[in-house]
């Protein structure tokens, strides 16, 4: 199972990731969110990231050329679209970059699940919102027929149940590994420790 630590903001966050070795880390690169970092900071942090950990750029209804530029200049490896980006947006982004695309969906109804399953993105991420630290109704996705990354309110208390119940392709955590709005290496370690043995990163 793939592990993503999202909302990385500081060099200490990157050092913790390098020590714990998730598959992915995430930078929020659209302005206006509490975990947003600048392009310059993202580039500096990426330079310190272990080579075999992929950097994901998280964007919300961002200009397509801006997203492509972050990938093409090496700041990120993967683009995650967390807004209202449609299939035409994904098609245009693919024309500008070869990077993998993750499309996030807020799951509130069965129709949201159907839309996620039909996405042309390389990966889909199922969430409750944009980093508010709350879960959605997991029962809605029990019959989804494609692999997905589970997000939304995951923490040390519920991650074992989530993995055992849903068997996601990957999990994405941000607020669940923070204390007072900052990444907490002890919580990162605890999150990984609570994963079922077969789901732990190498």
pLDDT digits (tens, 9 = 90+) for 80-89: 999 999 999 9
Give the CA distances from residue 51 to residues 25, 27, 45, 128, in Å, rounded to whole numbers and listed in that order: 12, 16, 12, 31
Prediction pTM value:
0.93
pLDDT value, residue 131 = 54
Structure-derived torsion over alpha carbons of residues 64, 91, 173, 176, reported in degrees to the nearest 10: 50
Can you read off the two tokens belonging to residue 58? 């998280």
Q: Domain spanning 2-197: which superfamily?
A: Aldolase class I (3.20.20.70)
pLDDT tens per residue across span 16-58: 999 999 999 999 999 999 999 999 999 999 999 999 999 999 9
The residue-averaged pLDDT of 75-95 equals: 97
Tell which residue, 194, 131, 126, 174, has the closest CA to residue 17: 174
């Amino acid at each position: 199972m793939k592990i993503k630590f999202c909302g990385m903001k500081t060099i200490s966050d990157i050092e913790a990731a390098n020590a714990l070795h998730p598959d992915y880390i995430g930078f929020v690169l659209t302005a206006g969110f509490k975990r947003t970092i600048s392009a310059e900071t993202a580039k500096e942090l990426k330079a310190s990231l272990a080579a075999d950990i992929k950097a994901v750029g998280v964007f919300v209804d961002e200009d397509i050329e801006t997203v492509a530029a972050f990938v093409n200049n090496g700041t990120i490896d993967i683009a995650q679209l967390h807004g209202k980006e449609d299939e035409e947006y994904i098609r245009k982004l693919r024309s500008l970059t070869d990077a993998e695309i993750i499309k996030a969906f807020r799951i509130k109804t069965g129709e949201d699940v159907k839309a996620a399953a039909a996405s042309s993105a390389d990966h889909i991420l199922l969430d409750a919102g944009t980093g508010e630290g709350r879960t959605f109704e997991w029962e809605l996705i029990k019959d989804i027929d494609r692999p997905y990354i589970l997000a939304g309110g995951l923490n040390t208390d519920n991650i074992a149940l989530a993995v055992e119940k849903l068997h996601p392709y990957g999990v994405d955590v941000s607020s669940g590994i923070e204390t007072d709005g900052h990444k907490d290496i002890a919580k990162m370690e605890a999150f990984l420790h609570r994963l079922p043995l077969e789901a732990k990163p190498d």
